Amino acid sequence: MTGDPKRANLPPMSLHVPEPKFRPGDDVDFSDFDIPAADSARRPDTGDNPRDFHELAFGLVRVLDDQGKAVGAWDPKLDADTLRTMLRSMALTRAFDERMFRAQRQGKTSFYMKSTGEEAVSVAATMALASDDMCFPSYRQQGILITRGYSLVEMMNQIYSNKGDKLQGKQLPIMYSSREKGFFSISGNLTTQYPQAVGWAMASASKGDSRIAATWCGEGSTAEGDFHSACTFASVYRAPVILNVVNNQWAISSFSGFAGAEATTFAARAIGYGIAGLRVDGNDPLAVYAATHWAAERARTNQGPTLIEHFTYRAEGHSTSDDPSAYRSAQEWSSWPLGDPIMRLKNHLIALGEWDEDRQAAMDKELAEMVRAAQKEAEKNGVLGHGMHQKFETMFEGVYEDMPWHLKEQQQQMLDEDVAAGRPGPRR
């Protein structure tokens, strides 16, 4: 089929396929990154209309400058004890990650995901929320539970799917759930937590409650339909929710360009929905805290949702099933211009005269011992793949509040067949 002869002299069209700047073996050069000064972003009033600060979706909210000082309008002016608590929670999250990563490599569990380099996104944000606000996380926000004081042993029980696992081995390792800590069950299906968070927030508002919701997803997940449905409902009903997009540059093997990063920022997606949008230095714990605190105040005062893009970097593989050396340069993390969030907060405390290298080393040692002791305690309940840890009949539980008759019949049939075959499993 021939084209219109009027277009005969036009060159053929071509399809643009995004390609990352650096591949394995390449030298890394981030000198072309536009990193605004730490005090350059203005801080609107929390009651301002989102159309009046569109530039914040394209810039970068920063608080810590290159000398480790807190500067600018977004400085939350946290006291030294709060900063030390934040540093401790971030360091504990990293120590936990290291120990569980090794446990996976030792065959004690099937799967693990580290949050190295992204600790501020979960820890600092959680500290800016109220303790009873509801969190709808993705699978790299273990720092939320750690910051809220959840038991490390319980987290490890879930990772090991052992007899102490409160989820009875029904969830993939690292997909925690804790009602008492306001931590909604993690789902392996991308971005399902977004409409769930918006729906929860709408329910909270309709009841006249004061609690808000916060949810997290990776930048690649913004290409999912659930993300856009959630934004529509959040905008229309002014849901009291914080929509966090963790732009860590990479999905499991494809870079952020496949989700639209070449065209604009992820925070800019807020503009089309008429909601507040902030682009934040995700490796600056004080900027993450300040942005979350600002967004939480907007939500609690009926100003509606805020979308926060956390500009950060995934230092490790996507998971223990991933080998990042196959698709990206090994130099990227060490060359990342926004640094390491733990190091930056440590340096800030040192600059204030409230911390030093010796105390940092002592704390790191203490936390490593704490995590090791928790691991020893959790492993008393068993590890994945070593024996039957859950009673057979529990596979029928947890679906309905009251088990219907047909499931009761199937459960009993299974138990009877196991007994007849001479292989009865654990019993109540």
> What mean pLDDT do residues 255-283 have?
95
Confirm if 299 and 252 have CB atoms less than 8 A apart: no
> What mean pLDDT do residues 269-274 have?
98
Instruction: Check residue 221 and give its pLDDT.
Output: 94
Instruction: Check residue 425 and give its pLDDT.
Output: 55
pTM (two decimals): 0.94
DSSP 91-146: HHHHHHHHHHHHHHHTTSSS-----TT-HHHHHHHHHHS-TTSEEE--TT-HHHHH
pLDDT in tens, 162-202: 999 999 999 999 999 999 999 999 998 999 999 999 999 99
Where do we find the tokens 């004061």? Answer: 210
Which domains are seen in the chain, by residue range? 50-321+335-381 (3.40.50.970), 391-428 (no CATH)
Q: At a CB cut-off of 8 Å and minimum separation 6, what does 84 contact?
A: 349, 354, 355
> What mean pLDDT do residues 142-167 have?
97
Instruction: Check residue 3 and give its pLDDT.
Output: 66
Confirm if 242 and 235 have CB atoms less than 8 A apart: no
pLDDT band per the 50, 70, 90 thresholds, residue 428: very low
Which position has the higher pLDDT, 428 or 100? Answer: 100
pLDDT band per the 50, 70, 90 thresholds, residue 385: confident
pLDDT band per the 50, 70, 90 thresholds, residue 4: confident
| The most confident of 340-349, 392-401, 416-425, by mean pLDDT | 340-349
Confirm if 149 and 228 have CB atoms less than 8 A apart: no
Q: 3-state DSSP call for residue 404?
A: coil
Instruction: Check residue 388 and give its pLDDT.
Output: 74
Whether 247 has a pLDDT exceeding 90, the answer reads: yes
Mean pLDDT, the chain, whole residue set: 94
The single-letter code of the amino acid at 220 is G
Where do we find the tokens 């057979």? Answer: 392
Q: What does the angle CA 363 – CA 367 – CA 371 come to, to the nearest 5 degrees?
A: 175
Whether 409 has a pLDDT exceeding 50, the answer reads: yes
Where do we find the tokens 């002592």? Answer: 362
Confirm if 269 and 232 have CB atoms less than 8 A apart: no
> What mean pLDDT do residues 259-274 have?
95
- Cα separation, 412 vs 166, in Å, equals 23
